[in-house]
Amino acid sequence: MSSEQTFIAIKPDGVQRGLIAPIISRFESRGFKLVAIKLANPSEELLREHYFDLQEKPFFPGLLSYMRSGPVLATVWEGKDVVKQGRAILGATNPLQSAPGTIRGDYAIDVGRNVAHGSDSVESAQKEIALWFKKEELVQYTPALHAWIYE
């Protein structure tokens, strides 16, 4: 079985609203493996690197301010097709276009308060994981339920 990793962050609004447990539960219930987790107050430097591709957008200063407004829960998940599936679990970036049953479809209304971030490709996941975590912070293990999730 080929496995990949993705970076999922619960943004300050999700943390402040007490949505950590329900969001983690969605990924665990699906069968993905949590390999790293930490609560952080990201620096402006980290956020500028993380959102490098958005620096020229007019909303960028507001994004930085919002992402520094409170703690962020940074996580790394592992599993088959987890980048694509993680995005599906989160729902569309614009919560009003997200289907009910997705995290954003259930918990968000505005794009600027869309509760969570998820890597959009395997390459961006690798970059984001390296930005937020040291290699030794990623835990390697085989969950006891592995055989009940994967063929």
Residues taking part in catalysis? 117
- Whether residue 59 is annotated as binding a ligand: the answer is yes
Between CA 67 and CA 104 the distance in angstroms is: 17
17 annotated binding-site participant: no
Please tell me the distance from the alpha carbon of residue 78 to that of residue 127, in angstroms, as a whole number: 15
Q: Is 11 part of any known ligand binding site? A: yes
Backbone angles phi, psi at 114, to 5 degrees: -100, 20
Query: Is 87 labelled as part of a ligand binding site?
Result: yes
Is 134 among the annotated ligand-binding positions? no
Strand order across the 4-10 sheet: 33-40, 72-79, 4-10, 116-118
Check the annotation: does 6 bind a ligand: no
Residues counted in the chain? 151
Annotated binding-site members: 11, 59, 87, 93, 104, 114
Annotated binding-site members for ATP: 11, 59, 87, 93, 104, 114
